[in-house]
Amino acid sequence: MLAAFLHGYLLSFGLILPLGPQNTYVFAQGATQPKLIRALPVAAAASLADTFLILLAVFGVSVIVLTIPIIKTILTLVGVGFLLYIGWVTWKSKPTSHGSHNEFDSLKKRIVFALSVSLLNPHAILDTIGVIGTSAITYADGTRFAFTLACILNSWSWFFGLTVMGRTLGVVDRNGRVLRTLNKVSAVIIWTSALYLVSGLLGGA
């Protein structure tokens, strides 16, 4: 059971580590909100979305998605459009010296956006379903529970830790100069992710 737990934690950590739309938005919220507590709901929303995807993957949705090509194609096309939009919003966003964020400032909008970034990101979905879902198949009963629990705990600890790191940068970068640069870099990374998905779709056609 311990081996399954460690496998799940290390596997999910490897998947969640790369900088993408979800990580970028959670980190930016920590950096741009005037108080850490205002950014925590976004971290919780991202964690809940990841938990939802992990549970879907473990309970067999991976088999459906991976065996029906049209589902993967539709998911990718919708995701590409959303990634392009996220990149544009990120590029335009301008953190101020007071630590507030101009885009999606209300709590409801920030939570909805965090859920969208998580649940409409095809790269994250396919990673979760294709990697975590297929890996979970090798376990049964208690060991599968340990594997799943480790994946979920990793998501929660990662997103809350990322929020704290963002807040630390926000305190140091009072004029928002570093954050503005980070927004530009993040937007380029998000657009690159969209292009990567398109190339993969065309390559498999």
Query: Within a domain: residue 130?
Result: yes
Query: Within a domain: residue 184?
Result: yes
pTM above 0.85, yes or no: no
Query: Within a domain: residue 23?
Result: no
The total domain count for the chain is: 1
Query: Within a domain: residue 20?
Result: no
Name the residue range of residue 161's domain.
2-15+33-203
Residue-wise pLDDT tens for the chain (205 aa)? 888 899 988 888 887 877 677 888 898 888 888 889 999 999 999 999 999 999 988 886 655 655 666 766 776 777 677 778 777 877 877 655 444 444 446 888 889 888 888 887 777 777 777 778 778 877 877 888 999 999 999 999 999 999 999 999 888 776 767 777 777 877 787 787 678 767 776 765 5
Neighbours of 37 (CB within 10 A): 9
The sign of the dihedral angle between the CA atoms of 192, 193, 196, 201 is negative
Distances (CA, A) of 8 to 45, 48, 128, 189, 194: 21, 17, 11, 27, 27
Instruction: Report the distance separating Cα 165 and Cα 159, nearest Å.
Output: 10
Instruction: Report the distance separating Cα 176 and Cα 61, nearest Å.
Output: 42
183, 90 in Cβ contact below 8 A?
Answer: yes
